[in-house]
Structure 1
Amino acid sequence: MSSTIGLSTYSFFWQWHETAPQPITLEQMVDKTAALGVTLLQICDYPLIESYTAAKLSELKAYGAAKGVSFELGTRGVTPEHLARYLEIAQALDVTLVRSMFYSATSRPTPAEAEQFLRTAVQAYEASGVTIALETYEQVPVQTLVDLVTAVDSPNLGICLDPANCLAALELPAETVRRTAPLVKNMHIKDFSFSRKDGWVGFTLASVPLGEGLLDYHGMVAAVRPEERGINQIVEHWLTWQGDSATTCALEDRWTASVVETLRSYAK
């Protein structure tokens, strides 16, 4: 087993956002991924993928293969119908991991309801060799997520670890890592820091390049052991708007290249 460095569509968020004069396509994201020598792209919270026909999915898979880039998927929600649709997309793209989140825009299940949904959905995922990884984030306590995954008890259900997300619920990153480490199936690599807002009234929590913020990356890796367990590390950003699209997108690209270089230096 080994850990692969991957990029997320969140690495290109402002480039495919509606604020971009010409939002880039998934194929262009594949091109940018390959240009950095990265072989994995997580298509995460990118709703357009749900409208792709079988033919278009086949074309995307072929395009990625030609560039040496494979895919993971990311969505929100745990209803069986929604997860079944993403399993279809996963099979079409030869994807083996789908990241999801407890809630979606249209569904907010109780923990008991979510457990029942996942018990139903995960059976088909097990049969297809695809894993669901539920992300840590502020809307669901970490222990609730851990208890849910433990209760379902499937080798194809685990956690996508992003400790920065839980800060908004006053859950410290080190504690999030400690509680989830045995169940982690995917990692989102996003360093972060707090800065004073204008006038010194309040704070902004946002990304910084890896190694410049509060993320204890080495402690997280020691706990999760991604190389030993074959857990991929997906680069994401919380890059704040820089005043205009061109400036923001250019900084986004510089950050992505920097994080990839830093991750590679850590692996040596």
Structure 2
Amino acid sequence: MTSLLGLSTYAYSWRMSDRVPDPMSLDDAMRDAASHDGVDLFQVCDHLPLDTASDERLAAIRTLADDLGLTLEVGTRGTHPDHLARYLHVAQQLGATLVRSMWTSGDDQPDATETERRLRTALPAYERAGVTLALETYEVVATTDLVAVVAAIDSDHLGICLDPANTVARLERPAEVVALTAPYVRNWHVKDAAFTRSPGWVGFQYTGVRTGTGLLDYAGVSAAIDPHTRGINRVVEFWLPWQDAAAGAGAEPDGDETAAQTTCRTEAEWTQHTIDHIRSKES
């Protein structure tokens, strides 16, 4: 099996946002992703236009991905069977074999019993289509509950999207989350994060940092889940703070750069740095 290295739309959060003067389109981000040596996958994650995109638009996205040599995955939130059916359709139109979702979506926060019922309703269509549904680890849901539901259903087409940075906000240690989920992981969101003291030493801020400088141990996670043997794709994303020097957010501005320019430049630099970091750990 092959583990592809990919970029997520979350690696382009600022460059695609309306906070910058000339935001990237989805097509722009895909072209940029393909320009990075070794990147073979693009995860269109929580990109709201996919909710209502026409089949013609989905076909155009797939054609562009094919032309660029990119495999696609898609991501959304929620477990309502109708919504999961929509994203199965999106995945099939894009040629994607994985849909990442989340247990909750906004005010829709079902308990474990309802979540299991919904998944059992939605999954047969995924199984027939050969598409895997991967539910992400995050702070709203205890990892033990997520694992329990996935284990109870016991489907080859249901698994977990591992993001051990998310559950720190639930006071779950990353290493423990990795150990709990390892048998069920089907997708891996690669990022790094760390705590810093808030101004005045009033509490902490938990934000993204350059990969390899924070709390997340790439090599340790990789050893635990064995992505190359199991065909678990690695998807790079960031929690890059807005680079406002006045707020002490991080990167030094270059000359007369605006905060938006500094943020976009830093996001691009983190992308290449993360790709290089991953290669250094696997060489």
TM-score normalised by the shorter chain: which range applies? over 0.9
Structure 1 gaps of 5+ residues are none
Instruction: Give 1:122 shift.
Output: 0.7
Equivalent-residue separation in structure 2 for 1:261 and 1:51 (angstroms): 36
* Residue 89 of structure 1: aligned partner: 90
> What is the deviation of 1:266?
1.6
Out of 263, 274, 280, the residue aligned to residue 248 of structure 1 is 263
Give the Cα–Cα distance (whole angstroms) in 1 for the partners of residues 106 and 204 of structure 2.
Answer: 27
Amino acid at match of 1:9: T
C-alpha offsets along residues 42-97 of structure 1, whole Å, 9 cap, x if unaligned? 00111112221111111111111111112100100001000000000000000000
How far apart, CA to CA, are the structure 2 residues paired with 1:264 and 1:219? 15
Is 2:24 aligned against 1:27?
no
Aligned to 1:16: 16
Shift of residue 41 of structure 1? 0.6
Task: Report the alpha carbon displacement of residue 22 of structure 1 after superposing the two structures with TM.
Answer: 2.1
* Mapping 1:70-89, distance limit 5 Å: 70-89=71-90
Q: Secondary structure at the match of 2:13?
A: helix
Are 1:120 and 2:121 matched, yes or no?
Answer: yes
For residue 180 of structure 2, what is the aligned residue in structure 1? 179
Counterparts of 2:13 and 2:115 in 1: how far apart (Å)? 29
Of 266, 269, 272, the residue aligned with 1:257 is: 272
SS of alignment partner, residue 21 of structure 1: coil
Name the CA distance, whole Å, in 2 between partners of 1:163 and 1:100.
15
Please list the CA deviations of residues 197-237 of structure 1 after superposition, one character each: whole Å capped at 9, or x if unmatched: 11121111111122111112211111101001000000010
CA positional deviation for 1:171: 0.5
| Between structures 1 and 2, the one with greater helix share | 1
Distance 1:221 1:264 in 2: 12
Separation of aligned partners in 1, 2:71 and 2:159: 21
Task: Tell me the C-alpha RMSD between the 2 structures.
Answer: 0.9
CA distance in 2, matches of 1:5, 1:209: 18
Identity %: 47
Distance 2:18 2:200 in 1: 30
Distance in 1 between the 2:260 and 2:112 partners?
40
Could you tell me how far 1:106 is from its partner in structure 2? 4.3
Task: Give the match for residue 254 of structure 2.
Answer: none
Alignment of 1:56-71 (within 5 A): 56-71=57-72
SS of residue matched to 1:154: coil
Structure 2 length-normalised TM? 0.93
Structure 2: any 5+ residue segments left out of the alignment? 245-258
Q: Which amino acid aligns with 2:262?
A: T
Q: Secondary structure at the match of 1:167?
A: helix
Find the residue that maps to 2:77 and give its secondary structure: coil
CA distance in structure 2 between the partners assigned to 1:14 and 1:229 by the alignment:
32
Map of 1:230 onto structure 2: 231
CA distance in structure 2 between the partners assigned to 1:18 and 1:53 by the alignment: 23
User: 2:24 & 2:17 partners in 1: Cα distance?
Assistant: 8
1:24 deviates by 1.0
Output the CA distance in 1 between the equivalents of 2:214 and 2:105: 29
Q: In the alignment, does 2:190 pair up with 1:189? A: yes
